[in-house]
A and B are shown apart, each in its own frame.
Chain A
Amino acid sequence: MLKKIAAIAAGVAVVATMNSQAVAKTLINGIDANFPPFAYVDKSGKPSGFDVDAVDWIAKKMGFEVTHQPVAWEGIIPNLVAKKIDFICSGMTITAERAKIVNFTTPYWEHRNQFVAKKDSSITEQKILTGGITLGVQQGTSELKWLQKTMKEKGWNFKFRMYDSAPMAVEDVLNGRIEAAAMNDAPAKDAVEKKPVKIVAAFGDVDAYGCATRKADTDLKKKLDDGYIALRKDPYWKELLNKYEP
């Protein structure tokens, strides 16, 4: 009796976990689950965002199927390299360090980084950088790397607290657990629109977003590059800009 149950359970388990990897034609776009307005999972669980919609359009135009899969940001490049996803179009900043491991498409968006604090806070950029405060940053981001590097060079004084998304860092700013948070300007703008926070100052260099592909997938990179060129000429690009206001 129990043996039968064990056999059935094992059978169910095998079948249930026989999850399909990228089935032939369908490519998987790895996205950050919470990076508005470029990529996020909306309240009913559907992947949405500027990059998600752009990729859907490009996929249709260039003739491939795509699904979007939220992946923890600090592990997204290892996931790409391990072929668990096929490319990353999710507000990913092009950096020299990342470009060693992956290929990037031509940049499609420029951005800067911002410090965000509570609306009624009197904190200044000076205080953030040298006042020994706690700064919230998303793990695995280029701005975190930049801050860590520049902090040593300039002798800044503050502590990091890691979060798995910029909006979560904003929440802790509102909860009073940290004094400020650092993020790209797009989620900063999104946070300012939705919550009582303000942008204190910009920091860092002007960076750009690009889509990441594995080094070997040169034809996928070309498809994405061509797709973006076509998208920019199409009125849909304006529609996306209006819809998401990144």
Chain B
Amino acid sequence: MLESFEAIVDALPYLLGGVPVTVAAVLGGMALGLIIGVPLAVAQVYGHPLLGRLAGVYVWYFRGTPILVLLFMFYFGLFPLMELNVNALTATAIVLGLASGAYQSQIFRGSILSLSGGQFRAASAVGMSDGQAIRNIILPQALRLSLPGWSNEFSILLKDSALAYVLGALDIMARTHFVASRTYEHLALYALAALLYFLLTWAGVRSLRALEQKVAIRGYGTT
């Protein structure tokens, strides 16, 4: 019992060193996912049917392939083939971002579709082009409505970031594994890692909740 406690105390600084790595992977993934997800959603709802079809293929592919498979495929296969020398963390963030983009696009698509079609027609009626209508009327509302789903995606991505371990990035999971293998204190150390992930999830979701409340419009739609 005492050795477990000692193992936790000894390993804690090292594990905490993995937090910036995990956070970087998650933020990178969420950001890239956002940049990919919004255009995909708009393409699927408002775009030319062919464009929408292409977007659909992207979504179908990245939702249909396990992230673990994608990580190995990109890091050991595609990137060396393209002579792209990225480190494990960057590769993880990129792959997470590509996959998350597919999921996020569906969150945004759902929010866009939930808006009344009359808004787009009204925008056209006052002379806005399609692009202006999407940018100024539809997206601000849709993104606001997407926040709950987006915060869900964030917590999923935070857990998926633990896969960075298989590429060799020194995130929380990798560090826990090294020390646990060395000290044989698996239960104690993985429980500690779980606690760290929980705290990160909690902090992130709380922040997004605060953001939701900040951008909510009292009395309009769903508050």
Contact = CB atoms under 8 A, between A and B. Distances in A.
A44 B143 contact: no
Interface residues of B, number: 45
Interface string B173-192: 01101110111100000000
A2 B140 CA distance: 8
Interface in B33-91: 34-35, 76, 80, 85, 87-90
A45 B175 contact: yes
A72 interface: yes
A71 B25 CA distance: 19
Given A16-B23, A75-B168, A168 B87 contact: no
B35 A10 contact: yes
A12 B143 CA distance: 21
B182 A167 contact: yes
Nearest to B6: A43
Contacts, number: 106
B40 to A, nearest CB: 15
Interface in B5-24: 7, 10-11, 13-15, 17, 20, 23-24
Contacts of A241: none
B199 interface: no
B31 interface: yes
Which DSSP category, helix, strand, loop or mixed, fits chain B's interface?
Answer: helix
Interface string B195-223: 00000000000000001001100000000
A184 interface: no
B134 to A, nearest CB: 13
Nearest to A12: B27
Contact of B85 (A5, A16, A82): A82
A40 B24 CA distance: 26
A9 B97 CA distance: 12
Given A13-B24, A17-B89, A45-B13, A34 B31 contact: no
A131 interface: no
17 contacts: A1-B215, A5-B211, A6-B34, A9-B30, A10-B32, A12-B31, A13-B28, A13-B32, A17-B89, A17-B90, A18-B90, A41-B178, A43-B7, A43-B183, A44-B14, A71-B168, A164-B181
Interface of A: 1-2, 5-6, 9-10, 12-14, 16-19, 21, 33-34, 36, 40-46, 70-72, 75, 78-79, 82-84, 164-165, 167-168, 171
